[in-house]
């Protein structure tokens, strides 16, 4: 029995809120706090009246003082940060000063520089340790489940892991020529950045979308996928001993890539402010305003996602190949929570991570990534809470 403060009320939060309400023996009370309080009230109207008591609040999560006041008045055991990566540090500051556990799904990014790295959040380790509280970083799907999958592979099937390929396939179709499946600003910053992967102790940089492979995904079929930098590469390179190479691939359809190229060519994906109509605007933020809202894609998205890890290494001196993945159906997610599978596959692990910290299973003072904890309770919870996984010992490999 405990209380969680959920910050943000977008696509991902919507799923986490549903899951917390389904898991009322752990989440007896939640407070949903976001910039636009009407969204929090709407979901409270829909789900209130069950066994989880729901309250709502308006909050500017860029403001640590406001956060501290809200935490002090609500008294949560944990803060689940489902706002944007820009807010991570103010929310972590508020957690340290109120001695409240913390969970998020995306690493901190400064607004004016599309740079993804854990250094800013890892720097809080000593402060969390001294406050006796846990910060669980990146408890979504990727990062999140992919880290747990890697820790599980390491523990169960390998003496040494040499190669990890994280494959993220969204085989869903929303019928729009161009839309992003989660926050457009964060999504476009991620895919327009240079690619990067870890090999033999070094980062190898590529041009955006330079490396392309084709892969046959269970439940989806053949898709083109592209090498991107993704934040879990940094923590896995640190936490999986002796790993020689870690890469991340994501699938994109031709229509998405053609539109993106065109938007890039005309400067619409830039985060440099420009003068327009007598005021300053950021082109990418303007683009976000005209694109379909990801939270509204649920009713029209059909098809499946398939996300997992292809792992190679050795056990008892013999080579081992292993693939662990989840397939998730967009329409099934929508019927259950009103959100599509990209939000669902992120929102469920956020609830699971928060649950494991709250019930003490995954609790140690300091700042940690998911793969630094015992993977089994998380793997069991994935099966229980809607993200069952499959294993294969003869996977197709990525060259």
Stretch that binds ligand NDP, among 6-14, 206-214, 216-224, 251-259 (CB under 6 A): 6-14
Q: How far is the CB of 251 from ligand NDP (least distance, A)?
A: 15
C-beta of 52 vs 343, nearer to ligand NDP: 343
Binders of ligand NDP in range 284-303 (CB under 6 A): 294-295
CB atoms within 10 A of CB 258: 12
CB of 181 to ligand NDP, least distance (A): 8
**CA 310 to CA 333: how far, in whole Å?**
25
> Which listed residue (16, 56, 121, 183) binds ligand NDP by CB under 6 A?
183
Ramachandran region, residue 309 (left: φ > 0; alpha: ψ -120 to 50; beta: rest): beta
Shortest distance (Å) from residue 48 CB to ligand NDP? 18
The correct pick among 47, 61, 227, 357 for binding ligand NDP (CB under 6 A) is 61
CA distance 79 to 9: 13
The region of 93-101, 134-142, 357-365, 379-387 touching ligand NDP under the rule CB under 6 A is 134-142
Measured from each CB, the residue nearest to ligand NDP is 10
Q: Which of 133, 346, 367, 379 binds ligand NDP (CB under 6 A)?
A: 346
Q: How many CA atoms lie within 13 A of 9 on its CB side?
A: 22
Which residues, numbered 15-54, are part of the site for ligand NDP (CB under 6 A)?
34-36, 39
Q: What is the CA radius of gyration of the chain?
A: 20
Q: For residue 137, which of 293, 301, 353 has the smallest C-alpha distance?
A: 353
- Selected from 43, 83, 263, 333, the binder of ligand NDP by CB under 6 A is 83
Q: Which of 21, 43, 92, 106 binds ligand NDP (CB under 6 A)?
A: 106
CB of residue 158 to ligand NDP, shortest distance in Å: 24
Q: By C-beta, is 152 or 158 nearer to ligand NDP? A: 152
Q: Which of 78, 84, 96, 370 binds ligand NDP (CB under 6 A)?
A: 84
Please name which of 399, 370, 350 lies closest in space to residue 239, comparing C-alpha atoms. 370
Residue found by looking up tokens 């990525």 in the block:
398
The vertex-35 CA angle with 27 and 4, nearest 5°, equals 15
Q: Which is nearer to ligand NDP, 158 or 373 (CB)?
A: 373
Could you say which of 27, 118, 141, 334 contacts ligand NDP (CB under 6 A)? 141
**Distance of alpha carbon 234 from alpha carbon 240, whole angstroms:** 10
Alpha-carbon distance of 122 to 118, in angstroms, equals: 6
CB 240 within 8 A of CB 164: yes
Find out whether 78 and 102 touch, Cβ atoms under 8 Å.
yes
Instruction: Give the number of other Cβ atoms within 10 Å of residue 397's Cβ.
Output: 12
Give the one residue of 5, 9, 131, 167 binding ligand NDP; rule: CB under 6 A.
Answer: 9
- Binding stretches for ligand NDP (CB under 6 A): 8-13, 34-36, 39, 59-62, 82-85, 87, 105-106, 140-144, 182-183, 186, 294-295, 343, 346
């Amino acid at each position: 029995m405990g209380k969680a403060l959920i910050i943000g009320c977008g696509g991902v939060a919507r799923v986490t809120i549903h899951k917390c309400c389904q898991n009322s023996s752990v989440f007896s009370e939640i407070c949903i706090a976001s910039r636009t309080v009407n969204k929090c009230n709407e979901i409270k109207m829909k789900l209130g009246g069950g066994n989880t008591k729901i309250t709502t609040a308006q909050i500017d999560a860029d403001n640590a003082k406001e956060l501290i006041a809200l935490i002090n008045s609500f008294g949560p055991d944990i803060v689940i940060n489902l706002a944007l990566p820009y807010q991570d540090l103010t929310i972590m500051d508020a957690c340290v000063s109120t001695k409240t556990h913390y969970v998020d799904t995306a690493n901190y990014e400064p607004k004016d520089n599309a740079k993804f790295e854990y250094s800013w959040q890892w720097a809080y380790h000593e402060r969390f340790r001294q406050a006796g509280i846990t910060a669980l970083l990146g408890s979504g799907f990727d990062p999140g489940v992919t880290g747990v999958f890697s820790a599980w592979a390491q523990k169960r099937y390998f003496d040494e892991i040499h190669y990890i390929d994280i494959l993220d396939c969204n085989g869903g179709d929303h019928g729009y020529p161009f839309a992003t499946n989660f926050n457009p600003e964060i999504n476009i910053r991620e895919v327009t950045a240079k690619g990067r992967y870890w090999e033999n102790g070094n980062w190898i940089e590529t041009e955006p979308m330079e490396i392309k492979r084709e892969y046959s995904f269970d439940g989806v079929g053949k898709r083109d996928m592209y090498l991107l930098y993704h934040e879990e590469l940094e923590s896995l390179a640190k936490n999986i001993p002796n790993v020689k190479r870690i890469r991340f691939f994501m699938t994109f359809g031709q229509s998405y890539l053609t539109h993106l190229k065109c938007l890039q060519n005309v400067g619409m994906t830039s985060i440099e402010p420009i003068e327009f109509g007598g005021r300053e605007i950021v082109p990418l933020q303007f683009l976000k305003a005209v694109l379909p809202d990801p939270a509204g894609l649920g009713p029209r998205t059909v098809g499946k996602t398939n996300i997992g890890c292809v792992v190679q290494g050795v056990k008892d001196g013999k080579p081992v190949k292993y693939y662990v993945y989840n397939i998730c159906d967009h329409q099934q997610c929508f019927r259950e929570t009103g959100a599509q599978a990209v939000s669902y596959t992120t929102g469920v692990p956020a609830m699971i991570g928060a649950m494991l910290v709250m019930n003490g299973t995954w609790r140690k003072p300091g700042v940690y990534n998911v793969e630094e904890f015992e993977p089994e309770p998380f793997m069991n919870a994935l099966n229980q809470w809607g993200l069952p996984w499959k294993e294969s010992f003869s996977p197709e490999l990525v060259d």
